[in-house]
């Protein structure tokens, strides 16, 4: 599936009390909602794509969330006496969710590529067992925590000029980060967004998220329903 990476696109919406979306500045290319790039601690397309490229094809949609992706600094600090925003250390995990069109096929490929991401029991049971656990328990997500992955990062650690076409590979260096990634079937994601079966991913997507690859029209429409439902329920 085609992928469009945009570290500066954050899904967020302002809505009125009657449930209508009041302010959603949609990017015409990917249906996400643009926010300044400096909201993200992982701030470049190359950093995000270097993570996603290490996984099999078949990812319909992916997003990052949490303090390693979105800045958690105190936005209300206005005086010099206020403490600076806290910076996460390297031991914090990058949190991402992958929505895949065929969970069993995807797990089969991922087991071959990253067998150590799975427990001994999961490796012994194979993709069918993993998919059975994913789709029959909890919120229908299979998480892989504490995964060490290489990603590209800017050599300066600065968010300035990350989108410049003049930047070359020398401006990047490789860094090893801990990743927690969750796998959900696209059908299950759509169901949670529109029916709140578990309100796990739907609730997460009420909050700011950083889209890693392009929304499909179906996911975009489901997310709009999710946000409107949240306003109606508030």
pLDDT tens, 44-77? 556 767 788 899 999 999 998 888 887 666 544 4
What is the pLDDT at residue 161? 32
pLDDT tens, 8-48? 334 433 333 333 333 333 343 344 433 333 445 565 556 76
Using N-to-C axis directions, what is the helix angle for 103-113 and 120-136, rounded to 10°?
Answer: 160
Contacts of 84 (CB under 8 A, 6+ apart): 73
What is the pLDDT at residue 163? 36
- What is the DSSP secondary structure assignment for residue 6, as one 8-state letter? -
Sort 215 into a burial class: Cβ within 10 Å, 0-12 / 13-18 / 19+.
buried
C-alpha 227/C-alpha 203 separation (Å) is: 9
What is the pLDDT at residue 56? 95
Q: Considering Cα of 137, then 143, then 146, then 147, what sign does the dihedral take?
A: positive
Place of tokens 């895949």: 100
Q: Which of 198, 199, 193, 203 is nearest to 223 (CA)?
A: 193
Question: pTM for this one?
Answer: 0.71
Q: Which of 209, 167, 223, 175 is nearest to 15 (CA)?
A: 223
Neighbours of 120 (CB within 10 A): 7
Q: What does the radius of gyration of the chain's CA atoms come to, in whole angstroms?
A: 18
C-alpha 211/C-alpha 7 separation (Å) is: 7
Q: By mean pLDDT, which of 74-78, 133-137, 145-149, 221-225 is the weakest?
A: 74-78
CA dihedral 8, 26, 230, 206 (to 10 degrees): -10
């Amino acid at each position: 599936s085609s992928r469009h990476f945009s570290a500066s696109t954050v899904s967020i919406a302002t809505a009125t009390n009657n449930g209508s979306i009041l302010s959603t500045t949609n990017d015409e290319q990917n249906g996400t909602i643009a926010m300044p790039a400096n909201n993200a601690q992982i701030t470049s397309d190359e950093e995000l794509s270097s993570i996603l490229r290490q996984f099999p094809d078949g990812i319909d949609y992916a997003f990052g969330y949490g303090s390693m992706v979105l800045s958690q600094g105190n936005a209300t600090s206005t005086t010099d006496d206020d403490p600076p925003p806290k910076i996460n250390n390297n031991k914090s995990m990058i949190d991402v969710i992958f929505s895949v069109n065929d969970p069993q096929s995807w797990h089969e490929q991922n087991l071959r590529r990253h067998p150590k991401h799975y427990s001994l029991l999961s490796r012994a049971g194979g993709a069918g067992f993993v998919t059975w656990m994913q789709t029959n328990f909890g919120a229908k997500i299979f998480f892989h925590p504490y995964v060490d992955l290489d990603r590209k990062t800017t050599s300066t650690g600065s968010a300035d000029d990350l989108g410049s076409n003049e930047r070359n590979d020398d401006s990047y260096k490789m860094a090893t980060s801990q990743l927690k990634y969750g796998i959900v079937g696209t059908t299950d994601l759509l169901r949670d967004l529109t029916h709140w079966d578990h309100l796990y991913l739907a609730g997460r997507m009420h909050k700011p998220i950083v889209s890693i690859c392009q929304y499909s029209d179906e996911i975009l429409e489901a997310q709009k329903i999710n946000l409107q439902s949240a306003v109606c329920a508030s």
